[in-house]
Amino acid sequence: MVKFRNAGDKEKISQASGEEKYNEQGVRVFHLDQQLQVLTMENSEKTEVVLLACGSFNPITNMHLRLFELAKDYMNGTGKYRVIKGVISPVGDAYKKKGLISAHHRVIMAELATKNSEWVEVDTWESLQKDWVETLKVLRHHQEKLEASSCDPQQDSPRLERPGRKRKWAEQRQDFGQKELLEPKTKDVPKVKLLCGADLLESFGVPNLWKREDITRIVGDYGLICITRAGNDAEKFIYESDALWKHRNNIHLVNEWITNDISSTKIRRALRRGQSIRYLVPDLVREYIEKHDLYSPESEERNVGVVLAPLQKNTAEANS
Amino acid sequence: MKSRIPVVLLACGSFNPITNMHLRLFEVARDHLHQTGMYKVIGGIISPVNDNYRKKDLVAAHHRVAMARLALQTSDWIRVDPWESEQAQWMETVKVLRHHHSELLRSLPQTEGPDHGRAHSLAPTGSALVFPAVPELKLLCGADILKTFQTPNLWKEAHIQEIVEKFGMVCVSRTGHNPKEYISGSAILQRYQHNIHLVREPVQNELSSTYIRRALSQGQSVKYLLPDAVITYIKEHNLYTGDSS
């Protein structure tokens, strides 16, 4: 007599077409690899996601870090996605925002802040570019990086939450055969999505800050996960934009039920006034700021009178 | 040279669990008092409430004390005191204030004689203040506590008076509360308003222990809302999982 846990399992196992073994009682026994195939099949129906956050991070705060946690819980909770990595990409100095201190420090602070994170890391590519880089190009850079490492099973797979499984997954892929390696496995390549607050979404409306085509490509080709307190305002904003409305299925609004208004601006202001920023930023970041005396009335005056890089670039192109 | 009045801040509450918001209260209050030029905050005390308070979902006091202790590991001026939680029954806030005030007096250097808290020696010149002044113990709380003074039968009138007259309060405002209104609506509070320090927290933060408990029971992340060491403790002891205890 053959017993199965449930009917669903039977179908999945026969698809795997592994060896069928039975124990003394006649109960089907699953080889470890077959069990893994069952598990990974359920998981492989989910789209793997990498959350990319672009911004000044001047400095990084607990609020920035919360965005990642909220987004991950939300995306994983839909049952359709599996968030495998978070990437913080601090903007380059060429952005010329008022009060923006050197990328070198902002990167180090972000690294200190994510030291104890198992899945969020810092990427310096954007900050190392000589000129300011459009967000769309940063998204493209990271997506291409993922695709490149995905085609070659010998390279490191994107960092998974449970490191022990990584090896088995790579071994298993080799079993699928030569043919799979030649075709780009679009289903298996993780998708990069832009993580942001509502302020970025609404900045799409600022004249000359974004190129229209860029906005369309960001929401069309990649997708947006927007953490917001005022869900109604964000929904309205999407409704009033044809480009956003068209790709609304690719825009995930995540409600932040509690106001957690730890903005970098307020941190810098508190520091100028000799007020405590404890418990608003990770301790290591606070200690680094104190040690290097990073924020002062002078640092806040940096780039005063200078036009923000995207405004400069887009206005020039519009006028040419 | 005018010397500042030393102050110790005492926060009573459930701390179920302690969060970054609780810790922020202390930092914000200290900054405010310092910037008045009149005070020097020399210490902070967290006093978790007794289990017999019987608030819904209140986990055992020894856990709440342990979590507060972990949260304060990196603080050099705030400590947790389990005295209130170790008493046989729940006690009114004013009694906790009285206890900690007498403890403060007992720990002062010149407390041998019967005149507690009074200066014994004069400086040679007879003018400048050289000996340590008696620290004041102030109740640190959210501004919403001022509102609860209006709830019938929640506080004894005499206690409210003692709190604002003998001790003093430092109230940190939260969104949705107008503390000046609560003061002007009460004769006692108005009379002692000089002893009620209203502090604006510029970083609006609705973070509450209730939110934390709900998120935990739903399996959601609470990282960066409370210290990592507290999160680890909660996981290790299986607290706030939503199973009825």
- Give per-residue pLDDT as tens, A251-261: 999 988 777 78
Q: Residue B243 — very low, low, confident or very high, per pLDDT cuts 50/70/90?
A: low
Residues of chain A with Cβ-Cβ distance to B74 below 8 Å are 283
Q: At CB < 8 Å, which residues of chain A contact B?
A: 62, 65-66, 69-70, 72-73, 116-117, 257-263, 266, 269-270, 274-276, 278-280, 282-283
Are the Cβ atoms of A275 and B221 closer than 8 angstroms? Answer: no
B65: Cβ contacts below 8 Å, ≥ 6 apart: B48, B80, B82, B85
Check pLDDT > 90 for residue B207: no
| Beta-sheet pairing, B5-13 with B136-142 | parallel
Mean pLDDT for the stretch of residues A119-126:
98
For chain A, percent of residues with pLDDT exceeding 90: 66
Buried b (16+ CB within 10 A) or exposed e, A248-273: eebbbbbebebebebbbebbbebbee
SS3 B170: strand
Task: Output the pLDDT for position A261.
Answer: 80
Mean pLDDT for the stretch of residues A303-310:
94
Check pLDDT > 60 for residue A181: no
Task: Output the pLDDT for position A156.
Answer: 47
Are the Cβ atoms of B175 and A259 closer than 8 angstroms? Answer: yes
Task: Output the pLDDT for position A161.
Answer: 46
Nearest Cα of chain A lies from the Cα of B57 at a distance, in angstroms, of 20
Q: Residue A15 — very low, low, confident or very high, per pLDDT cuts 50/70/90?
A: very low
Task: Count Cβ atoms below 10 Å from residue A67 Cβ, excluding itself.
Answer: 25
The length of chain A in residues reads 320
Task: Output the pLDDT for position A29.
Answer: 58
Task: Output the pLDDT for position A163.
Answer: 46
Per-residue pLDDT tens digits for B142-163: 988 888 898 888 899 999 999 9
Q: Which amino acid is at A318?
A: A
Q: What is the pTM of this model?
A: 0.81
Check pLDDT > 80 for residue B193: yes
B144: Cβ contacts below 8 Å, ≥ 6 apart: B174, B177
The chain B residue lying nearest A70, using CA atoms, is: B221
Task: Output the pLDDT for position A319.
Answer: 83
Q: At CB < 8 Å, which residues of chain B contact A?
A: 20, 23-24, 27-28, 30-31, 74, 175, 202-208, 211, 220-225, 228
For chain B, percent of residues with pLDDT exceeding 90: 69
Task: Output the pLDDT for position B133.
Answer: 77
Nearest CA to B36 out of B13, B59, B2, B77 is that of B2
Question: If residue B43 lies in a helix (H) or strand (E), which one and from where to where?
Answer: strand B39-48
Are the Cβ atoms of A259 and B20 closer than 8 angstroms? Answer: no
Nearest CA to B85 out of B169, B18, B12, B8 is that of B12
Task: Output the pLDDT for position A37.
Answer: 46
Nearest CA to B22 out of B233, B210, B165 is that of B210
SS3 A296: coil
Q: Residue B131 — very low, low, confident or very high, per pLDDT cuts 50/70/90?
A: low
Cα separation, B214 vs A304, whole angstroms: 45
Check pLDDT > 80 for residue B177: no
Residues of chain A with Cβ-Cβ distance to B20 below 8 Å are 62, 279-280
Task: Output the pLDDT for position A150.
Answer: 80
Task: Output the pLDDT for position A26.
Answer: 60
Residues of chain B with Cβ-Cβ distance to A258 below 8 Å are 205-208, 211
Work out the mean pLDDT of chain A and round it to a whole number. Answer: 83
Task: Output the pLDDT for position B242.
Answer: 75
Is B121 or A146 the better-scoring residue by pLDDT? A146
The chain A residue lying nearest B214, using CA atoms, is: A257
Task: Output the pLDDT for position A23.
Answer: 59
Residues of chain B with Cβ-Cβ distance to A259 below 8 Å are 175, 204-206
Is A23 or A242 the better-scoring residue by pLDDT? A242
Taking CA atoms, A90 is separated from A101, A123, B180, in Å, by 11, 8, 42
